[in-house]
């Protein structure tokens, strides 16, 4: 419109091709940035070996196209134009708030390093969204959930023109009905009140390409779990409490976190604790359905010089007791399980502290130490 724009941010970019390469790159030039004054004037200083630069300017929804220029140029005029917009609507099931999702737009053919996906846009209560300040071009619009940042929908080839609002029929609506489910997970104390302590709730989505695990946020003993199609498994653990594993979370569930017992392991003679840099560790591993449980809590401890180690019994039911030996220095870290002719198991119950003798074959331990020390 010919009006000066004050407070616009200018940046210098360098375009070129890496030596021996064919693909063109565009890099921002460090410390080459400035703001225009009230009359739109600017002086940009840059330290570079390159004579030719590109300048881009932006303020709010106004943005320039890249301008090629050289160092020493004077009286350069840069035009800012209004960015384009993309409008659309998410359609979700009645019991699922649209606010559980974010909408993004990214250029399908980015031209410079600043052409990246937009900031997340949360739809309103009716599922409507409006993405502003887009450069002219072709975009991919995609939707992620707010739990594990999983992409659940995508529409490509969305055309955006300068100063115009794009209304693509494929975006109104983006239909998610029948695809997503939400269930309530309640975590309780033994007396039935909400558990308000620190909780680690980890959801595992089954996928032929590899299972995916994500963190579930729990507030005041409650969580709303979102998933697509196949119900996930959920591992729930908390410091000092027995963990709970839900193999298939397909409906609202309540779980109780009971107090975990203290497990004291004593190395039975004639085995002896090795001296550093060799360390001996006892570990409890879940069995049966509990094998799918994932936890950030420690399920192992090193034997002290007296041959004693203590672990919280974070798994309920039967666990396998495993002894590992490790060789640890600043340069190396090697570990291996100490073989045993007879596996040792332990049954864990709430608040039932146990003292357990751990049997290790001294010859098997010596061979394991020799193996990791020689690697």
SS3 of 169, please? helix
What pLDDT sits at residue 26? Answer: 78
Mean pLDDT on 58-83: 88
Mean pLDDT on 116-132: 90
Q: What is the pLDDT of residues 1-14, one digit of tens each?
A: 689 999 999 999 88
Residue 165 backbone phi and psi in degrees, to 5: -100, 120
Mean pLDDT on 105-132: 84
Structure confidence at residue 115 as a pLDDT band (50, 70, 90): low
Residue 102 backbone phi and psi in degrees, to 5: -125, 145
365 compared with 66, residue with greater pLDDT: 365
What is the percentage of the chain residues whose pLDDT exceeds 90?
A: 72
Q: Is the pLDDT of residue 338 over 90?
A: yes
Write down the residue that tokens 């420690």 correspond to.
298
- Computed over every residue of the chain, the mean pLDDT equals 91
Q: Is the pLDDT of residue 114 over 70?
A: no
Q: CA-to-CA distance for 192 and 114, rounded, in angstroms? A: 52
The answer to whether 160 and 131 are in contact (CB under 8 A) is no
What pLDDT sits at residue 229? Answer: 79
Q: What is the pLDDT of residues 206-250, one digit of tens each?
A: 887 888 899 999 999 999 999 887 899 999 999 999 999 999 999
- Which residues pair with residue 244 across a beta bridge? 236
The answer to whether 181 and 152 are in contact (CB under 8 A) is no
Q: Is the pLDDT of residue 57 over 80?
A: yes
What pLDDT sits at residue 226? Answer: 92
SS3 of 288, please? helix
Mean pLDDT on 196-201: 95
What pLDDT sits at residue 276? Answer: 94
What pLDDT sits at residue 312? Answer: 94
- Which residues pair with residue 70 across a beta bridge? 52
197 compared with 20, residue with greater pLDDT: 197
* 28-32, 250-254, 320-324: least confidently modelled range: 28-32
Closest CA to 7 of 64, 45, 60: 60
* 18-27, 301-310, 361-370: least confidently modelled range: 18-27
Q: 0.85 exceeded by the pTM?
A: no
Instruction: Output the CA torsion 191→192→194→199 (10° steps).
Output: 70
Q: Is the pLDDT of residue 112 over 70?
A: no
What is the percentage of the chain residues whose pLDDT exceeds 70?
A: 98
SS3 of 363, please? helix
Q: Is the pLDDT of residue 113 over 70?
A: no
Mean pLDDT on 55-76: 88
The rounded radius of gyration (Å) of the Cα atoms in the chain is 30
Q: Is the pLDDT of residue 305 over 90?
A: yes
134 compared with 229, residue with greater pLDDT: 134
Domains of the chain, with CATH numbers? 9-82 (no CATH), 84-175 (2.60.40.1120), 180-256 (2.60.40.1120), 262-374 (2.60.40)
Q: What is the pLDDT of residues 179-189, one digit of tens each?
A: 999 999 999 99
Q: CA-to-CA distance for 131 and 126, rounded, in angstroms? A: 16
Write down the residue that tokens 């030996």 correspond to.
325
Pairing of strands 62-63, 128-134: unpaired
Mean pLDDT on 32-40: 95
* 79-93, 112-126, 158-172, 324-338: least confidently modelled range: 112-126
Greatest alpha-carbon span in the chain:
91
Q: Is the pLDDT of residue 60 over 60?
A: yes
């Amino acid at each position: 419109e010919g009006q000066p724009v004050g407070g616009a941010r200018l940046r210098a970019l360098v375009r070129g091709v890496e030596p021996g390469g064919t693909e063109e790159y565009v890099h921002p030039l460090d410390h080459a940035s400035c703001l225009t004054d009230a009359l739109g004037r600017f002086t940009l200083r840059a330290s570079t070996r390159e004579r030719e630069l590109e300048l881009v300017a932006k303020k709010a929804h106004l943005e320039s196209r890249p301008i090629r220029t050289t160092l020493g140029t004077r009286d350069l005029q840069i035009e800012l134009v209004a960015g384009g917009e993309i409008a659309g609507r998410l359609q979700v099931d009645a019991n699922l708030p649209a606010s559980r999702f974010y909408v993004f737009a990214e250029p399908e053919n980015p031209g410079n390093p600043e052409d990246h996906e937009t900031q997340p846009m949360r739809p309103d209560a009716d599922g409507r969204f409006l993405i502003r300040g887009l450069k002219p071009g072709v975009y991919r619009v995609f939707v992620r959930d707010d739990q594990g940042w999983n992409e659940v929908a995508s529409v490509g080839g969305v055309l955006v023109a300068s100063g115009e609002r794009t209304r693509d029929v494929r975006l109104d609506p983006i239909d998610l009905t029948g695809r997503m489910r939400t269930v309530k997970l309640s975590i309780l104390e033994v007396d039935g009140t909400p558990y308000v302590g620190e909780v680690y709730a980890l959801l595992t989505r089954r996928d032929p390409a590899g299972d995916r695990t994500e963190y579930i946020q729990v507030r005041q003993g409650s969580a709303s779990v979102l998933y697509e199609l196949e119900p996930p498994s959920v591992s729930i653990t908390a410091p000092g409490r027995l963990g709970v594993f839900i193999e298939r979370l397909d409906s609202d569930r309540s779980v109780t976190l009971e107090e975990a017992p203290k497990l004291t392991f004593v190395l039975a003679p004639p085995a002896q604790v090795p001296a550093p840099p060799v360390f001996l560790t006892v570990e409890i591993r879940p069995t049966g359905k509990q094998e799918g449980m994932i936890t950030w809590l420690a399920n192992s401890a090193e034997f002290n010089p007296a041959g004693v180690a203590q672990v919280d019994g974070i798994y309920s039911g039967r666990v396998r007791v495993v002894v590992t030996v490790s060789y640890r220095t600043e340069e190396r870290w090697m570990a291996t399980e100490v073989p045993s002719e007879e596996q040792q198991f332990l049954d864990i119950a709430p608040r039932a502290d146990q003292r357990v003798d751990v049997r290790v074959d001294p010859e098997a331990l010596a061979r394991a130490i020799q193996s990791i020390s020689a690697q």
